[in-house]
């Protein structure tokens, strides 16, 4: 327990230092703790430490974990991974925020949710000089407007902003600068969709400098992930 709370405190301090350096208020930054591959018991410990926003990236795992934790009624589950359209409606049974909306067909599937869902449009931040798999997924910047229009026209969906993962092999701040530009373009058609989901354990400081409002932090808080089971 103490190691976990020490890591959580260290990350919270890092976030508030980075916010101050960016002339921003730490209160404008929401930290989502990514608990993929970790057991429900770790989520419970984090909840006891005051964490309320949790991120998961694999549907099967998230579904069983959230079922086990159904008593944590004040927790918000953010779906942050690649999502198959045929699993989308099921994912909305436990998550109310989807950060990985990257195609119109996924919006069409999310429309069938039985509750209100907040959406971030995931933008592909890979550039020509990087060829790595971690940046796979995400809409091309040119495809964002169409996805946004579809979200805006759906009663049960709200558009929060953009999401991105910095590719390996590039200075993360440059990738996050492109994400900020995508956010500015999006706001021309959706002025209230001003939020930016960016920044993981290794690059959250750079993300905060480029305007991130939602950080998705796993291993820096949870410790190393157990091997995928």
Ligand X SMILES: *Cc1c(COP(=O)(O)O)cnc(C)c1O
Cβ contact 196:160 at 8 Å: no
Residue (73 or 224) nearer to ligand X, CB? 224
Least Å distance between CB 95 and ligand X?
Answer: 13
User: Judged by CB under 6 A, does residue 121 bind ligand X?
Assistant: no
Q: Does 166 bind ligand X (CB under 6 A)?
A: no
Minimum distance from residue 159 beta carbon to ligand X (Å): 19
Q: Give the ranges where the chain is alpha helix by DSSP (H).
A: 2-21, 40-48, 59-68, 85-91, 104-110, 144-152, 172-189, 204-209, 219-222
- Strand 117-122 and strand 214-217: pairing? unpaired
In this complex, which beta carbon is closest to ligand X, that of residue 70 or of residue 228?
Answer: 228
Query: Of these, 29, 75, 80, 123, which contacts ligand X (CB under 6 A)?
Result: 80
Judged by beta carbon, residue 193 or residue 200, the one nearer ligand X is: 200
Q: Using CB under 6 A, which of the segments 66-74, 89-97, 109-117, 195-203 binds ligand X? A: 195-203
Q: Which residue in the set 8, 18, 19, 36 belongs to the binding site for ligand X (CB under 6 A)? A: 36
The single residue among 200, 207, 208, 209 that binds ligand X, judged by CB under 6 A, is: 200
Stretch touching ligand X by CB under 6 A, among 70-78, 173-181, 183-191, 214-222: 214-222
Q: Find out whether 126 and 132 touch, Cβ atoms under 8 Å.
A: yes
What does the alpha-carbon distance between residue 218 and residue 216 come to, in Å, rounded to a whole number? 7
Binding part of the chain for ligand X, among 43-51, 111-119, 140-148, 217-225 by CB under 6 A, reads 217-225
160 binds ligand X (CB under 6 A): no
Q: Which two tokens stand for residue 184?
A: 């500015």
> Which is nearer to ligand X, 76 or 152 (by Cβ)?
76
Q: Are strands 195-197 and 157-163 parallel, antiparallel or unpaired?
A: parallel
223: left (phi over 0), alpha (psi -120 to 50) or beta: left
Burial 81-91 (b: 16+ CB within 10 A, else e): bbbeeeebebb
Residues that bind ligand X (CB under 6 A): 34, 36, 57, 80-81, 165, 200-202, 216-220
């Amino acid at each position: 327990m103490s190691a976990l709370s020490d890591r959580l405190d260290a990350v919270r301090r890092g976030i508030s230092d980075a916010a101050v350096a960016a002339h921003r208020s730490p209160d404008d930054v929401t930290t989502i703790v990514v608990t993929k591959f970790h057991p429900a018991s770790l989520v419970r410990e984090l909840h006891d430490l005051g964490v309320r926003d949790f991120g998961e990236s694999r549907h099967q795992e998230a579904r069983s974990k959230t079922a086990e934790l159904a008593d944590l009624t004040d927790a918000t589950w953010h779906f942050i991974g690649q999502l198959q359209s045929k699993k989308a409606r099921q994912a909305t049974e436990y998550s109310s925020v989807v950060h990985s909306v990257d195609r119109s067909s996924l919006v069409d599937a999310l429309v069938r949710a039985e509750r209100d869902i907040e959406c971030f449009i995931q933008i592909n931040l890979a550039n020509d000089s990087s060829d790595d798999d971690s940046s796979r997924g995400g809409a091309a910047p040119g495809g964002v407007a169409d996805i946004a229009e579809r979200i805006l026209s759906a009663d049960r969906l709200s558009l929060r902003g953009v999401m991105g993962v910095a590719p390996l092999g590039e200075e993360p701040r440059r990738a996050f600068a492109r994400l900020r530009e995508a956010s500015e373009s999006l706001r021309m058609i959706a002025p209230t969709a001003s939020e930016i989901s960016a920044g993981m354990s290794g690059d959250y400081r750079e993300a905060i400098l480029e305007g991130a409002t939602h950080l998705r932090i796993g291993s820096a808080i949870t410790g190393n992930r157990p091997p995928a089971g």
